[in-house]
Structure 1
Amino acid sequence: MHKRGTIKLIAAALLTGALLAGCGAGAEDNAASQAAPERATGGGMADQGAPAEDKAAPGAGQDAGQGVDQGKNATAQAPDLRVDQRSIIYTGSITVRVDDVTAAAAQATGIASASGGFVGADERHTGATSDTANLTLRIPAAKFNSVVDQLAKLGKEELRGINTEDVTEAIVDLDARISVQKARVESGKQLLSKAANLDDLVMLEREVATRESDLASLEAKKRRLADLTALSTITVVLLDPDATQAADPDDEPPGFLAGLSGGWNALTASLAVLMTVLGALLPWLIAIGLPAWAILYALRRYRRRQPAADSSPHPLTPAATADSSPTP
């Protein structure tokens, strides 16, 4: 009895130990199983996050680079239309009364040369009582105002006029047209190199020549505008103290006197034209008109004499015989 009780106790103890060991192992397995997914999930997220950041970074950099490139291209293509970057043609005129026209003209020439310009035209008139000079100066646009001020100090300034013309849009349009025309010329040359027969060759040569001519014309217009914008034009009129300045016709006020003056000028101009025509026709009238008048006069005299001769009685006519016979 005592032995059977002992065996039962030992068996109960072994069973309890086995149960406790199984529960501990199951708890460890559950903890391990729960920790493993967490580690796997965290590691996967970390691993996935790093490549995602790595992949996102190049994309963001590429987009940023593309944005910068597009911004540069847009800046390069769009024309700069700021005030200080616009293409403006400056033209001016100034009238100065000086003591010595020759000396003042020399000083004006020196001012133009010192500013980097040159004299485009020089016209001088020397009269019995007065001298005048008309100079056309080509001056760099950046020194236009300073040169005008220097010219005004040569004597007493009497008249000044300054005009500006903005040709920025015209130059931009010419640049675009020149680019298109160059592309057309190149395409025409490519087609010309692939001509299959003589007719196509002749036609393409004519077309290429026309396109090149149009391109040369556009480039000439651009060079002309570039010259006008780079060098401004100043017309300088120098008068001595006794010279009189010609009045500007545009300054004449409108009214009855202006209309009368205009009508009188038109009448004198018409009379001048008429007298010119008569002077040109007079030699022909003398050379042809006098002989024709002489012939007409001779014919009239002859016709007047002919009827008188026909109306006179003939001596052998019956009327004369009847008159001569005696009455019974």
Structure 2
Amino acid sequence: MRRIRAVTAVVAVVGVMVLAGCGASGNDSATSGDAAPAPAAKQGSGSGESGSEESAGEANPQAPSAGKTDSGAGGGKEQPAITRAIIKTGSLTVEGDDVSGMRQKAVAAIAGLEGQVASEDTGSDSDGKITRSNLVLKVPTKSFETAIQRLSDLGKRLQIHQESTDVTEQVIDVASRIESQRASLDRMRALMAKANTIGEIVSVESELTRREADLESLLAKQKNLSLQTELATLTLTLTEKGKPPVETVKEPDKGFVAGLKGGWNAFTAAFSAIATAVGALLPFLVLLAIILVPLWRFRSKLRRQPAAVPVTGPPAAPNSGQ
């Protein structure tokens, strides 16, 4: 009986499992059958959306996308344009028959360009006729090329040299340092107003004086850069036909370069003086050496010879009879 019950129980369990499997497969098939139209509908809706987008794109082909609009709106602010600061210099040599006439025309041409003559070195012959002229001209930087062209038309151009130096970074750096220095001075003045003791007043006043001196130095540098960028320097050499050109007069060096050149010139001058003195004394030194060296050797030889020892006889024998 127990075996029959066990077999019956096993059969019942297997039957339940079979029925459950059939039910699950039926449900899956039903579900797949019911859900089959859904992806088609979804695909249909997607194609409809893409179709609407394509139609919208055809209707307005130049319409920017949202991303482009945002980037355009974000990049609407343009960066301020930086004006380049350029220092221009040059030299020009012109040859002609009438140096005096060329000089007058050159001065008039520069004045017409709102320029000026910074320095002049003009020479003439024994009859008073001007045969050479060297002019250092200052012209607006924007008119630099025009000035070269007009001056070249005065005669035959023999030599031309142009040079441009970009100092934009220096100009921006100096302007930034000036702004920072002024803000620092304002803070120091505020501290000066709050100082109570004499020690605090002296300390703040000393620092304030130092920073004011630094600001004045920066302002002077800014002014110098401004002048150099606004006015170009052009050295004009006018020479008579058939004669060598006049040597260009260079501006004297200043600052470290001038000090270095001065020190080198002093060193070479001192060395030249010492070398001259040694050269003048050398014959006398040779003569003294010729005289003194033999004397010194003779004296040394005398010192090496031993002194003469006196010769004494044998000692007297003692008197035995006494």
TM-score range, shorter-chain basis? 0.5 to 0.7
Q: Which has the larger radius of gyration?
A: 1
CA distance in 1, matches of 2:123, 2:298: 65
Aligned to 1:206: 206
CA distance in 2, matches of 1:133, 1:303: 76
TM value normalised by structure 1 = 0.53
Aligned to 1:217: 217
Is the CA contact 1:94–1:157 (under 8 Å) kept in the aligned structure 2? yes
SS in structure 2 at match of 1:318: coil
Cα deviation code 1:51-82 (max 9, x no counterpart): xxxxxxxxxxxxxxxxxxxxxxx89xx7543x
CA distance in 1, matches of 2:281, 2:193: 66
Taking a change above 3 Å as real, the CA distance of residues 292 and 115 of structure 1, as seen in their structure-2 partners, is same
2:95 alignment partner AA: R
Is the CA contact 2:85–2:167 (under 8 Å) kept in the aligned structure 1? yes
Aligned to 2:311: 318
CA distance in 2, matches of 1:240, 1:298: 72
Taking a change above 3 Å as real, the CA distance of residues 273 and 189 of structure 1, as seen in their structure-2 partners, is closer
* Correspondence 1:1-328 to 2 at 5 A: 79-81=80-82, 85-124=83-122, 132-244=132-244, 278-283=275-280, 285=282, 294-304=291-301, 317-318=310-311
Taking a change above 3 Å as real, the CA distance of residues 275 and 167 of structure 1, as seen in their structure-2 partners, is closer
CA distance in 1, matches of 2:171, 2:197: 41
Taking a change above 3 Å as real, the CA distance of residues 102 and 276 of structure 1, as seen in their structure-2 partners, is farther
Q: Considering only aligned residues, what root-mean-square deviation do their CA atoms show, in Å? A: 3.9
Out of 155-164 and 97-106, give the one that drifted further: 97-106
SS in structure 1 at match of 2:242: coil
CA distance in 2, matches of 1:303, 1:176: 81
CA distance in 2, matches of 1:79, 1:89: 22
**How far off its partner does 1:168 sit?**
3.6
Cα deviation code 1:260-299 (max 9, x no counterpart): xxxxxxxxxxxx9997763243245567776576544433
Taking a change above 3 Å as real, the CA distance of residues 282 and 182 of structure 1, as seen in their structure-2 partners, is same
Is the CA contact 1:79–1:172 (under 8 Å) kept in the aligned structure 2? no
CA distance in 2, matches of 1:172, 1:134: 35
Is the CA contact 2:87–2:228 (under 8 Å) kept in the aligned structure 1? yes
SS in structure 1 at match of 2:114: coil
Size of the alignment, in residue pairs? 214
Aligned to 2:41: none
CA distance in 2, matches of 1:298, 1:169: 76
**How far off its partner does 1:306 sit?**
5.9
CA distance in 1, matches of 2:286, 2:301: 23
1:191 alignment partner AA: L
Is the CA contact 2:94–2:152 (under 8 Å) kept in the aligned structure 1? yes
Taking a change above 3 Å as real, the CA distance of residues 118 and 199 of structure 1, as seen in their structure-2 partners, is same
Taking a change above 3 Å as real, the CA distance of residues 124 and 279 of structure 1, as seen in their structure-2 partners, is farther
**How far off its partner does 1:104 sit?**
2.8
Identity of aligned residues (%): 28
* More helix, by proportion: 1
CA distance in 2, matches of 1:300, 1:144: 81
Taking a change above 3 Å as real, the CA distance of residues 286 and 108 of structure 1, as seen in their structure-2 partners, is farther
**How far off its partner does 1:221 sit?**
1.4
Out of 286-295 and 162-171, give the one that drifted further: 286-295
